[in-house]
Structure 1
Amino acid sequence: MRTIIKARWIIAALWIAMAAVLFITAPDMGQLTKEKGQIAVPEGYPSSYANKLLEQMSKDGDTDKSVVVVFQDKQLLPNREAALKKAITILEKDSSLHVSDITSYFDAEEDIQKQLLSKDRTTLLVPVTFDANKISAADFKAKVNEKLKPLKLDYEMTGQPLIDDDVITSSQEGLKKTEYITVGFILIVLILVFRSAVAPFVPLLAVALSYLVSQSVVAYLVEYADFPLSTFTQIFMVAIMFGIGTDYCILLLSRFKEELAHGKDKIEAILTTYKTAGKTVLFSGFAVLIGFTCIGFAEFQLYKSAVAVAVGVAVLILALLTIVPFFMAVLGKVLFWPVRGNIGHPQSKLWETAGRFAFSKPLISLLIVAAVAVPPILMYKGTLSYNNLDEIGDQYESVSAFNTISDKFGPGESLPVTVVLKTSDALDTNDGLIAIEKISRAIEQTNGVSKVRSATRPVGKGLSDLYVKTQANELNKGLESGNKGLKKIKDGLAEASKSIADQKPQIEASGKGINQLIKGTESIKAGISDVEANMRKLKDGTDQSKEGVARAKKEIQAAKKQLTAQVDQLNGQIENYKEISKVLKAALSQAESAQGITADVQKMIEQTNQ
């Protein structure tokens, strides 16, 4: 300590030089907070894994960010329609905005329009996507305000990029308020403690110098060593460093004052102060240093970023051992001006009385403490809030616009929860779409979920084609068409049989009967063609019901093949009436069998619907 006292002017000059160099050359802490201070969930949690999957789904180098422009007016449509169309055109066409996608109410389908215009027709949403690699969220907002100002439309903008930007702005403004309030409050406390116009400024100068230096050191670590950082890092440093720094300085200056009051010169008073109170400060400071260093092992970035306080405490301890002795040695008793003569202070009667009472009546003292402490503890409910927007308030445009969307459309419309599904099989198939719809229904049934949008319900409504009832109706239509075709086959066979019976004498006498028979076979072929056409309709209605449809299709195709073979056989054996008659009867029997199979399929469908 004697060496420090002797070299006090050199040490003070080094501190000032170091602070100046670091302050000038260190990276901007505010800019670093914007770039690297966003609070992220560590790896291993569902949300962080989902974000990785979303990044994999995005195109390489995709830097698009989405925001929502919220237009409001009591008579928005149709009174302001022309201005709105012009505003959307500006957003879409102006190259300086770097807009990559925009959803216009006036160009959208009816289902989409319902999602963009509130029921009372006072609020219109315009989702916009811009390239964040070419323009920042803050600059995009500023340019949009510049471009739309002549239109005199009432609007606000929100979205995750704008909310993040406002959170950082809020933290920076909060930091300034914290600094002013902290300095002011500490100054008042120090004046009350020392009753001096000089002594209160020593702790403030020592701690402020420590804060400036340590903040610059942290900025270098963040820039070049990937040091953890959050929007609360600087606030942590201000609160802790000014708090414990002032406490330690009060202890050191009070002990120095006592030693001076006992008649020691300032050098001896400094040495005695640091031999006694100095050890207490040193050990306490190292305990705080170790504690905040250990916080650096946390996983959550917000807590992990508090490790910067450890850097601040280390610098603060160094300042307490060098800067404070400098002021003690230079100013001596002047530190406690305007107090003159005996600078010692009498024993406090208040604290003496409180101490004697606590020792003499400990139980009563505990009851008094309990009476003060227990009610707040019991009243505390420990309710957690997951609404981060409450931290910055609706004085910011992004929060105000978000609340507008929540009131008019529901809170999930602006920042919906995204569920990411990954499978080894393709999802753009019938089975994949059915799986997506099942998951959508399960999510929809969760408490608090009002609407689910997915591949099967792009506007929040399920596709009716995927429902069993709709599929069954299509199958019924196909089966009805199949029945009509089979009836035509039956009628054609009956007509052929009748023709052969009527024309038997002519068949034996001449070839005229052959022509009649051919007409009958043509009717059969026509019926078969109808079956083929209706089979295609049947397939369209039965693709989603594979088991029942496969059975019906297989049986009907078998009937068709047998009928075709029998007709060919009929043409080849036209001279043999008995053989023809057998073939026709067999064909008729097959047609009736196919019709029976169709009836079985219809019964199966009815049972499925039930």
Structure 2
Amino acid sequence: MKGSRRRFTIQAIVWLVVMVAAIIFLPNISSLVRDKGQTKLPSSAKSQVAQVIQNHWGRNQNNTRQVVVVFNNGDSPLTSDQKQAIDGTIQRFKVQKSKYHVKSMTAASDNAAAKKQLISKDKSTQLLQLMVGKNQTVTNMTKNITAGAKTAGVKTYVTGSDILNDDFTQETEAGIQKTEIITVIFIFIVLTLVFRSPITPLVSLLSVGVSFIISLSVVMNLVNKFNFPLSNFTQVFMVVVLFGIGTDYNILLFDQFKEELSHGDSPVAATGRALKIAGRTILY
């Protein structure tokens, strides 16, 4: 009996050490998703065709991000006053390049070819293409460019592939957090109703939580060190799969534990028997 208690205690300490190590060595998940988690679309997709066109607007530099400032007047053509205000905004970017970290820019007023590409046929929209240095985060860059692009009497928008990817990543992370909270609450309620005990759900969630943290650390380190495939939805799938299957396996273990207790075994002995019988099924 004492040997079994000692063995279970050692196992708990080992898992605790592994979990702490997993947390310490867990890479920055947001950065990995932004750098390596983007879905690859076929070259025929409209967004990819637009990306090819965009790459020809300016120098394709690895240390810059392509940003597009959109000036719009709804369905009506831009008025002369609005065009003058837009020119003032463009001039501000030219004069204050260092403030906005702009390396180069292309405006409709540069030449006839640029004018044809950057002004819509109905004259309601005008674009300004910027090449912005990567010496700041996408979030800060977007905030700065958006503030600088504000133009009186004109609707202004800031867009670009990095900005869209960053927005998508942020929305995905927010969705993951909601998924985790809903999953934990749902599992807690279900297990409480099944086992009529508030302790059993906590034990289940704790064990599944430890498994999730360790698994997440392993996957992210594989991505970071060995370019393991990664998607924006990898973490979501891990939450759903691990909490779903983990809870199912816990129910199997708890049922087996209750059965062993009904045979008159002590809690420690019943735990050992449950791990031997149900654990073999789980391992397979």
TM-score interval for Structure 1 and Structure 2 normalised by the shorter chain: 0.7 to 0.9
Matched position secondary structure for 1:7: helix
> Displacement of 1:198 after TM fit?
0.9
Q: Which amino acid aligns with 1:84?
A: I
Cα distance in 2, alignment partners of residues 155 and 59 from structure 1: 24
Cα distance in 1, alignment partners of residues 262 and 162 from structure 2: 61
Question: What is residue 160 of structure 1 aligned with on the other side?
Answer: 161
Q: % of aligned pairs identical?
A: 33
Cα distance in 2, alignment partners of residues 111 and 149 from structure 1: 22
Question: What is residue 84 of structure 1 aligned with on the other side?
Answer: 86
- Contact (CA 8 Å) 2:86, 2:151: kept in 1 or not? no
Cα distance in 1, alignment partners of residues 129 and 79 from structure 2: 20
- Contact (CA 8 Å) 2:107, 2:115: kept in 1 or not? no
Question: What is residue 116 of structure 1 aligned with on the other side?
Answer: 119
Structure 2 residue 107 is matched with structure 1 residue 103: yes
Question: What is residue 38 of structure 1 aligned with on the other side?
Answer: 38
Question: What is residue 469 of structure 1 aligned with on the other side?
Answer: none
> Displacement of 1:253 after TM fit?
0.6
Question: What is residue 213 of structure 1 aligned with on the other side?
Answer: 214
Question: What is residue 254 of structure 1 aligned with on the other side?
Answer: 255
Question: What is residue 267 of structure 2 aligned with on the other side?
Answer: 266
When the two chains are superposed, the root-mean-square deviation of aligned CA atoms in Å is 3.5
Spell out, residue by residue over 1:406-428, the C-alpha distance to the aligned partner (whole angstroms, 9 max, x if none): xxxxxxxxxxxxxxxxxxxxxxx
Give the helix-richer structure, 1 or 2: 1
In the TM superposition, 1:506-525 aligns within 5 A as none
> Displacement of 1:95 after TM fit?
2.0
Q: Which amino acid aligns with 2:145?
A: V
Structure 2 residue 26 is matched with structure 1 residue 22: no
Spell out, residue by residue over 1:527-551, the C-alpha distance to the aligned partner (whole angstroms, 9 max, x if none): xxxxxxxxxxxxxxxxxxxxxxxxx
- Contact (CA 8 Å) 1:99, 1:128: kept in 2 or not? no
Cα distance in 1, alignment partners of residues 28 and 214 from structure 2: 13
- Contact (CA 8 Å) 2:4, 2:268: kept in 1 or not? no
Cα distance in 2, alignment partners of residues 14 and 279 from structure 1: 20
- Contact (CA 8 Å) 1:87, 1:151: kept in 2 or not? no
In the TM superposition, 1:211-290 aligns within 5 A as 211-283=212-284
- Contact (CA 8 Å) 1:91, 1:99: kept in 2 or not? no
Matched position secondary structure for 2:181: helix
Spell out, residue by residue over 1:588-609, the C-alpha distance to the aligned partner (whole angstroms, 9 max, x if none): xxxxxxxxxxxxxxxxxxxxxx
State the TM-score, normalizing by the size of structure 2: 0.81
Cα distance in 1, alignment partners of residues 280 and 251 from structure 2: 14
- Contact (CA 8 Å) 1:117, 1:124: kept in 2 or not? yes
- Contact (CA 8 Å) 2:85, 2:152: kept in 1 or not? yes
> Displacement of 1:159 after TM fit?
2.5
Question: What is residue 502 of structure 1 aligned with on the other side?
Answer: none
- Contact (CA 8 Å) 2:34, 2:166: kept in 1 or not? yes
Q: Which amino acid aligns with 2:266?
A: D
Cα distance in 2, alignment partners of residues 4 and 77 from structure 1: 83
Range that drifts further, 175-184 or 246-255: 175-184
State the TM-score, normalizing by the size of structure 1: 0.40
Matched position secondary structure for 2:68: strand
Spell out, residue by residue over 1:455-492, the C-alpha distance to the aligned partner (whole angstroms, 9 max, x if none): xxxxxxxxxxxxxxxxxxxxxxxxxxxxxxxxxxxxxx
- Contact (CA 8 Å) 1:92, 1:102: kept in 2 or not? no
Spell out, residue by residue over 1:215-271, the C-alpha distance to the aligned partner (whole angstroms, 9 max, x if none): 122222222222221211111111110010000001111221222233221122123
Range that drifts further, 85-94 or 179-188: 85-94
Describe the shift of the 1:166–1:46 C-alpha distance in structure 2 as closer, same or farther (beyond 3 A): closer
- Contact (CA 8 Å) 1:68, 1:125: kept in 2 or not? no
Cα distance in 2, alignment partners of residues 19 and 141 from structure 1: 37
Cα distance in 2, alignment partners of residues 277 and 85 from structure 1: 73
> Displacement of 1:151 after TM fit?
5.0
Unaligned runs of 5+ in 1: 284-610
The one of 80, 92, 95 aligned to 1:93 = 95
- Contact (CA 8 Å) 1:92, 1:99: kept in 2 or not? no
In the TM superposition, 1:380-399 aligns within 5 A as none
Cα distance in 1, alignment partners of residues 4 and 152 from structure 2: 68
Matched position secondary structure for 2:71: strand
Q: Which amino acid aligns with 1:70?
A: V
> Displacement of 1:134 after TM fit?
4.3
Q: Which amino acid aligns with 1:116?
A: I
Give the strand-richer structure, 1 or 2: 2
Give the number of the structure with larger relative contact order, counting CA–CA contacts within 8 Å between residues 6 or more apart. Answer: 2
Describe the shift of the 1:215–1:2 C-alpha distance in structure 2 as closer, same or farther (beyond 3 A): farther
Q: Which amino acid aligns with 2:105?
A: D
Describe the shift of the 1:103–1:166 C-alpha distance in structure 2 as closer, same or farther (beyond 3 A): same
In the TM superposition, 1:412-451 aligns within 5 A as none
Spell out, residue by residue over 1:40-96, the C-alpha distance to the aligned partner (whole angstroms, 9 max, x if none): 36xxx867xx999x99xx978555543322223457423433321111112333223
Q: Which amino acid aligns with 1:68?
A: V
Describe the shift of the 1:240–1:168 C-alpha distance in structure 2 as closer, same or farther (beyond 3 A): same
